[in-house]
Structure 1
Amino acid sequence: MTTTLSAPGRWIRNFNPDDEDFWAAGGRRVALRNLAVSVFSEHIGFSIWTMWSVLVLFMSPAIGFNFTPSEKFLLVVTPTLVGAALRLPYSYAVTRFGGRNWSVFASAVLLVPTLLALYFVQQPGTPLWVFMLIGATAGVGGGNFASSMTNITLLFPQRHQGWALGVNAGGGNLGVAVVQLLGLLVIVTVGDTHPSYVAAVYLPLIALATLLAALKMDNVSGVRPVPGTLRRAAVNQHTWWISFLYVGTFGSFIGYSFAFGLVLQNQFGASPLRAATYTFLGPLLGSVFRPVGGWLSDRWGGARVTLSSFLGMTLGTAVLIAASDQNSFSLFVIGFTALFVLTGIGNGSTYKLIPAVFAATAEKSVTSGRDAVEEFARARSLSGAVIGIAGAVGALGGVAINLAFRAAYGSLGTGEPAFLAFLGFYALCMVVTWWVYLRGSLADASVKEATRV
């Protein structure tokens, strides 16, 4: 079997990464090339999506903005919500238009929110509703994740998907830390009255990501939509169990990424400089540890690693509550940073459950006499659909976190009620992980998958 390209759409025919001979003969090279560009494009997308977590730190009376803490939390909720809503159509778009074609569009459209932010953040007196509309356009950066992950799932063999998905998502998630580090650099070098500089840096990077996607990525013919795939995914119970767990892992990561700086300002009265000094560290470590979560899951099983992550997140949240009671800034930052690391690991392990569970289902079908090629192709297509659904539902966790913070700080001036709610939710996620994936007849499909890697 050979890999063939047909101009001008760069469609690859007969791409079968699970065939070891095909993989060694050229499939691996193609997959890695697409992965490299995908990581860069998704990285820029995440930066644009979470840019408002940085820009709100600049929005002070000094530059003509008098927004309350509740209004600022509402502003960062907006791109989170839109990004979550766009993940499902973005995931489907890869199957409809091709990974390369959609990546070109998804990268180029990032110019819209960036140019709008560049102009309006330097316009004193701009009302909140205008910024909310601009923040909504930044949601396209959040959609990038789903299309990118769906594409990578279909390019890599089952035995390497934990690693590949972890690298792709981790590299993208790093965009959160980078835009926050950029905000810190702007404050340190030119002060906290020039938020437009943050947006300006990304204009040439968006152009570069678009160009690289056009020149270096490919469409895969096997990624055409299979009729009824989304419906089958929607009625499969594992879609919703995994989505629920992803609310706890990725929802926490993205929600905390948007909120961390505002929490430091409201909980401890931190200045923009002090807040920006710490906000990038958590997302940075969470992003770095996401592929670690995938790697650990490839070896020990996604459910085991996910359960351990939720246990750690429960303990980390307890540390935040103690730090709030003691008004300890250093302990609070340490606890929050640990939470980011654990969400990163949990992100990788939860996503590893998706291909593992559906591959196990396909394996059962094959043992009952069904065609192996057809069943595993169906499982791969179903995994792509579930990634889109889980990505969309999981991102809604970020909305819930910011709304919880908005309610807590808006009415009580402290985040402790929100942290208590998060602690209870993580404990529930532990129960679900054990009950569904470590107790029943499934006996953790990801553990079975890990033993054969």
Structure 2
Amino acid sequence: MKRAGSFFRAGHFPTLLSSFLYFDVSFMIWVILGAIGTFIVEDLQLTPAERGMMVAIPVLAGALLRIPMGLLADRWGGKRVGMLGMLLTMVPLLWGWMFADYLSDIYALGFLLGIAGASFAVALPLASRWYPKQYQGLVMGIAGAGNSGTIIATLFGPRLAEAYGWNAVFAISLLPLAIVFVIFSMFARDCPTTVKPAKISEYKHVMKMKETWLFSFFYSISFGGFVGLTSYLGLFFFDQYGVSKVTAGDFVTLVVFAGSFIRPIGGYLADRYGGIKLLMWLFSGGMVTLFIIGTLPSVYVTLGLFFVTFLFFGAANGALFQIIPTYFPKEVGLVTGFVGAFGGFGGFFLPNVLGTMKQWTNSYSYGFWMMVVMMMVAVWIIQKLQKNMKSGIHQSTEAVKQSVRV
């Protein structure tokens, strides 16, 4: 209770809540094509490869836009950029409601939906800067739990599409977006002690650091796995096991619930035990579950395995964003956008890999096993990092002992 009370006194909770809501509704809209994808696929008669591209384009666009959104948030303030992002997100929703009739329309509005995905680079730094170092994992976990917006999309999207048609889902999505826009504009605040934006030369220095690229690779697996599978699983369950469109959406809702709400716990555990060490165990667990999924067991066994896999992904996302403010306290907006962009790239490639491998081999197995290989590489890198860190600590200790003797 004492720790909870000090947490609420340490920062600005209205901004933390507003950041969560902004990210939540944006994430809901970002993955809307995946939520109603089974209806679009049936209506437009798409091939497996076209299905993968349809749900992957918003993820790619979100990845590309996160870096500029992070830069703008550093310079103009997170509140101003967040409000602009929500206004621009209304454009593809209006397009999907009134004009989307062909696959080319879906691809184009899907790219614009990436604006919602780029909210990641604005919402998390806006909340993070209000809180001291010891609460960064918890704060980034709470704000990042806005990826639970996926639950809203997958739970209600298929039902609304079945009742009113998939075009109407875009129109209905405008309502929660407008409500959150009002709340965000009223209660969110930029931290008054925010550090001045770094110069471009300093940004280049950050890009030269190996940690930036390693964290980006790790996040391309954890968040890329989360958002990529979120976008594609409805299509997977519908195609592989023949469940109804609404049931497929419910299955995705269940596993996404696990991945979303474990994220703050992942941040909390990283605060206590170390993010790098936690990542190694989470990725190792994901390797096992995804390998078994690749054997394509019965539908309910697969569902249970995805539930556990999303627990690993969600906790890993929280752990990674406990690490970033620790390494890059002055450039958190840029690095968050950069690392987040790679998470989006991972989420773009995964649906394409699954769809393409299905079209080439008539099986999803090889797509899942390719994910296992990537996680094996990540675990190997983490083990190397841990050895280097222990070696560095040992060398520092010896240097101190030598200076004392002198």
Partner of residue 86 from structure 2, selected from 99, 107, 120: 107
Give the counterpart letter for 2:388 in structure 1: G
Cα displacement (A) at 1:355: 2.3
Cα displacement (A) at 1:343: 0.2
Give the counterpart letter for 2:262 in structure 1: F
Match of 2:354 in 1: 405
Partner of residue 173 from structure 1, selected from 141, 147, 150: 147
Distance across 1 between alignment mates of 2:28 and 2:238: 21
Q: TM-score by structure 2 length?
A: 0.90
Cα displacement (A) at 1:342: 0.8
The yes-or-no answer on 1:34 pairing with 2:4 is: no
SS of residue paired to 1:80: helix
Q: Which deviates more from structure 2 when the two are superposed, residues 286-295 or residues 90-99?
A: 90-99
Distance 1:132 1:240, change over 3 A: same
Match of 2:246 in 1: 273
Cα displacement (A) at 1:156: 1.3
Distance 1:310 1:72, change over 3 A: same
The one-character-per-residue Cα deviations of 1:88-115 (angstroms, maximum 9, x if unpaired) are: 1111111111121112112222211211
The one-character-per-residue Cα deviations of 1:11-65 (angstroms, maximum 9, x if unpaired) are: xxxxxxxxxxxx9799735x2111111110111110111000012111255xx42
Distance across 1 between alignment mates of 2:50 and 2:291: 27
Distance across 1 between alignment mates of 2:355 and 2:342: 20
8 Å contact 2:58–2:112 — kept in the other structure? yes
SS of residue paired to 1:87: helix
Distance 1:425 1:35, change over 3 A: same
For structure 1, the residue ranges without an aligned partner over 5 or more in a row are: 1-22, 359-378, 446-453
Give the counterpart letter for 1:440 in structure 2: N
8 Å contact 1:316–1:336 — kept in the other structure? yes
SS of residue paired to 2:45: coil
Give the counterpart letter for 1:59 in structure 2: I
Match of 2:32 in 1: 51
Match of 1:296 in 2: 269
The one-character-per-residue Cα deviations of 1:297-349 (angstroms, maximum 9, x if unpaired) are: 11111011111110110011122023x1x4x1111111112111110001011
Match of 1:329 in 2: 299
Distance across 1 between alignment mates of 2:33 and 2:219: 23
The yes-or-no answer on 1:164 pairing with 2:139 is: yes
Cα displacement (A) at 1:439: 1.4
Match of 2:335 in 1: 386
Aligned residues: 387
Partner of residue 218 from structure 1, selected from 186, 189, 205: 189
SS of residue paired to 1:280: helix
Match of 1:261 in 2: 234
Match of 1:144 in 2: 119
Distance across 2 between alignment mates of 1:66 and 1:351: 40
Distance across 2 between alignment mates of 1:42 and 1:202: 14
Give the counterpart letter for 1:180 in structure 2: T
* Higher normalized helix content (fraction of residues): 2
Distance 1:314 1:194, change over 3 A: same
Match of 2:280 in 1: 307
Q: Which deviates more from structure 2 when the two are superposed, residues 140-149 or residues 201-210?
A: 201-210
> What pairs with 1:178-217 in structure 2 (closer than 5 Å)?
178-186=152-160, 191=162, 194-217=165-188
> What pairs with 1:337-356 in structure 2 (closer than 5 Å)?
337-356=307-326
8 Å contact 2:15–2:187 — kept in the other structure? yes
8 Å contact 2:283–2:378 — kept in the other structure? yes
Aligned residues: percent identity? Answer: 24
Cα displacement (A) at 1:430: 0.8
SS of residue paired to 2:294: helix
Distance across 2 between alignment mates of 1:254 and 1:443: 36
8 Å contact 1:293–1:344 — kept in the other structure? yes
Give the counterpart letter for 1:158 in structure 2: K
> What pairs with 1:414-453 in structure 2 (closer than 5 Å)?
414-436=363-385, 438-441=386-389
8 Å contact 1:232–1:382 — kept in the other structure? no
SS of residue paired to 1:156: coil
Distance 1:43 1:442, change over 3 A: farther
8 Å contact 1:268–1:329 — kept in the other structure? yes
> What pairs with 1:82-161 in structure 2 (closer than 5 Å)?
82-120=61-99, 126-161=101-136
Distance across 1 between alignment mates of 2:105 and 2:159: 27
